[in-house]
Amino acid sequence: MKTIIKLTLGILLVSALAGCTPGQIQMLLRSLATPPVAAGDPVHGESIFRHGSGSAPPCVTCHQIVAGGIGFSVGPNLADIAHVAETRVEGMDASAYIHQSILDPSARLAPGYRNMMYPNYAHDLSAQDIEDVVAFLLTLDGENS
């Protein structure tokens, strides 16, 4: 009986993983391996956004967060990302979309942009750091400039 249960669980796991991109598998393993994180701290998130953390480059290298923006940026202006993120993928809320954008940037590309986002935040930042950055981005509702 136990063997059957183990076998069923094994098959479920394998079939769940089969449909995943490497980035998603990494996210899944990470969520299994790390303890649950506290609610995001937007103040710490803004610090990572502006200054980076360890080997993770600052998000401002490629993203502006001032409405209207000036000049050229490699990535989209995130001044209104709290709203924009809600509209990107049907059935995906802003928080889930932003998490995926950071952890697995090539899974979906913002319209009009190329696959040029730094790909290793899932590795370089802790789960808590990511929560903090997401919490900060969720405050960017177009009223920040």
- Binding residues for ligand HEC (CB under 6 A): 49, 57, 59, 61-63, 74-76, 81, 84, 88, 98, 101-102, 105, 109-110, 113-118, 121, 133, 137
Which CB sits closer to ligand HEC, 25 or 57?
57
**Burial classification of residue 138, based on how many CB atoms lie within 10 Å of its CB (0-12 exposed, 13-18 middle, 19 or more buried):** middle
* Closest approach of ligand HEC to the CB of residue 100, in Å: 9
* Closest approach of ligand HEC to the CB of residue 32, in Å: 23
Which CB sits closer to ligand HEC, 28 or 86?
86
* Closest approach of ligand HEC to the CB of residue 18, in Å: 24
Q: What is the chain written as a DSSP string?
A: -HHHHHHHHHHHHHHHHHT--HHHHHHHHHHHHSPPPPPP-HHHHHHHHHH-BTTBPPGGGT---STT--S--SS---TTHHHHHHHHSTT--HHHHHHHHHHSTTSS--TT--S-S-S-HHHHS-HHHHHHHHHHHTT-SS---
* Closest approach of ligand HEC to the CB of residue 48, in Å: 6
Which CB sits closer to ligand HEC, 34 or 113?
113
Which CB sits closer to ligand HEC, 31 or 87?
87
